[in-house]
Amino acid sequence: MPDNSFKPLDPLLHSELRLAVMSILIGVDSADFVYLKSETGATSGNLSVQLDKLQQAGYIEVKKGFKGKMPQTVCSITDRGRDAFASYVEALRSYFPTQ
């Protein structure tokens, strides 16, 4: 019997900006704050808040350092974040009719 129920979507990922950040990080080794800001079009404040939420959930790792004399924040996805993203995509499938 086919399962027609919708699977719950991870509320942490079901947010436009956080999902955009995770979609970027899933395909790269790491990305700095400036790159994430330009790719998502978010404001610095909003992006910082959302990155903090993802970090607290253990989905991303945030390293603060310096590039030359300029401060640099580099983000990368963790194994937990990768699993969460895969589960989110899997859950998303249940919202679309299978062919």
CB-based contacts of 13, cutoff 8 Å, min separation 6: 19, 22, 59, 84, 85, 88
Under rule CB under 8 A, residue 96 binds other proteins: yes
CB of 29 to other proteins, least distance (A): 5
- Buried b or exposed e, range 20-35, using 16+ CB within 10 angstroms: bbbebbeeeeebebee
Under rule CB under 8 A, residue 84 binds other proteins: no
Under rule CB under 8 A, residue 77 binds other proteins: no
Under rule CB under 8 A, residue 49 binds other proteins: no
CB of 55 to other proteins, least distance (A): 18
Distance CA 43, CA 47 (A): 6
How many CA atoms does the CB half-sphere of 58 hold within 13 Å?
4
CB nearer other proteins, residue 39 or residue 83: 39
**In the set 56, 63, 89, 90, which binds other proteins (CB under 8 A)?**
89
Question: Which residues contact other proteins (rule: CB under 8 A)?
Answer: 9, 14-16, 19-20, 23-24, 26-32, 35, 39, 88-89, 92, 95-96
